[in-house]
Structure 1
Amino acid sequence: MSDGKQFPGPKVGGDVLGLPSDVEQAYEEARSCAGVNAYTATEVMCRKILMHVAVDKGAESGKAFAFYLSYLSDKGYVTPPMRPWVDEIRKNGNVAVHEIPATDPKRALGTLIFTEQLLRMVYMMEHLAARYTS
């Protein structure tokens, strides 16, 4: 600690149960990036997580990014109420990748929150249902 600050910073966001290993690794990387104020990297990882989820849920790898978003929606992993905030993950990741200005920390933390919620809906609820229902 120096001047009351912890280095490296703590991971941002919460744990999500039931993630496959590659999705978990990508999510943990996004959390760690946010914890060290690497906000551009946070948003890039959140965008990449959308591809990981689609491939884990059966999409063919090696496709264009738009294919993965359509796949998640078409297969019901992204429901109509979720589309606006999943689209924010996409848009914010695109800005982080393709534009020069520094990434806004507040926006990046929002992107991480949206990503966490997507992972909870797609994986954690299924994991908990398997654990607690007959």
Structure 2
Amino acid sequence: MSNIIYDCPHCGTQKVYFKVFYSKQHLKKTDIYNALAECGSCYEPIALVINWVVPYPKKDLPHEYFDAICTANNFFGLKVFPAPPATNAPDHVPDDVKRCFEQAAKSRNAGLFDAAGMMYRKTLEIALKGFAPEIVAWRLDTRIDKLAKEGQITPALRDWAHEIRTLGNDVVHNAIEVTQAEANQLHMFCTMLLMYLFTVPEEIALNRKKSESN
């Protein structure tokens, strides 16, 4: 049975071996094979579309090839389903905010939900610092309320921001465990907040400049 090395989209384990346990040649494209593989860590499956090229006459199907096929110069992965969850921060986010967000997202994908909760809170703290630098760092709640009062964030985003802040605080100070569902919610909330604060205004400004130059 052959293996491939891939980042698991289910459990988040990076560079884990997947056992390829089934493959079938494409009916129209002779070098293309559809295959199924199983994560060596969580045993969840992925589906692959493989470009299977070997330097000698093909006898074995990809799953019959007794080797790590991704290191044998005969395997080119075209598509993998499901794809690993994205960890990239929204566009136009400052570098320090981006670094914290992507650490949070990677922790979430790896199942480190407590770490993700703390890093989403840190992302929020650093993101809002530039909007209210006069407020002391430990008063994140005051910063959130100030932005809402000034109309820089909506009431719904204010509530989301407080959820991120509260859960992050609970992880640090009250030993609360973050669930996967909560980590997923924090990811969505934080993404939407960053897009509202940074991505949307910058895209509007860029499009306005483009319109003025035409």
TM-score bracket for this pair, using the shorter chain length: 0.7 to 0.9
Structure 1: give runs of 5+ residues left out of the alignment.
Answer: none
Paired residues of 2:89 and 2:98 also in contact (CA < 8 A)? no
Aligned residues: 133
Larger Rg: 2
1:64-91 superposed Cα distances (whole Å, 9 cap, x missing partner): 2323222332332321132222222122
RMSD: 2.5
- Partner of residue 124 from structure 1, selected from 178, 199, 207: 199
Match status 1:54 vs 2:69: no
SS class of match (1:2): strand
Structure 2: give runs of 5+ residues left out of the alignment.
Answer: 1-15, 19-37, 42-83
Which stretch shifts more, 32-41 or 64-73? 64-73
Give the equivalent residue in structure 1 for 2:10: none
Q: Mapping of 1:1-134 within 5 angstroms?
A: 1-2=16-17, 4-5=38-39, 10=84, 12=86, 15-60=89-134, 62-133=137-208, 134=211
Which stretch shifts more, 107-116 or 13-22? 13-22
Which stretch shifts more, 107-116 or 12-21? 12-21
1-structure distance, mates of 2:173, 2:165: 12
2-structure distance, mates of 1:6, 1:25: 29
2-structure distance, mates of 1:6, 1:16: 32
1:29-83 superposed Cα distances (whole Å, 9 cap, x missing partner): 1111112111111111111122112212242353423232223323323211322
Relative to its length, the structure with more strand (as a share) is: 2
Change (3 A) 1:55 1:106: same
For normalisation by structure 2, the TM-score amounts to 0.54
TM-aligned CA deviation for residue 108 of structure 1: 1.0
TM-aligned CA deviation for residue 12 of structure 1: 4.4
Where relative contact order (Cα < 8 A, 6+ residues apart) is larger, the structure is 1
For normalisation by structure 1, the TM-score amounts to 0.82
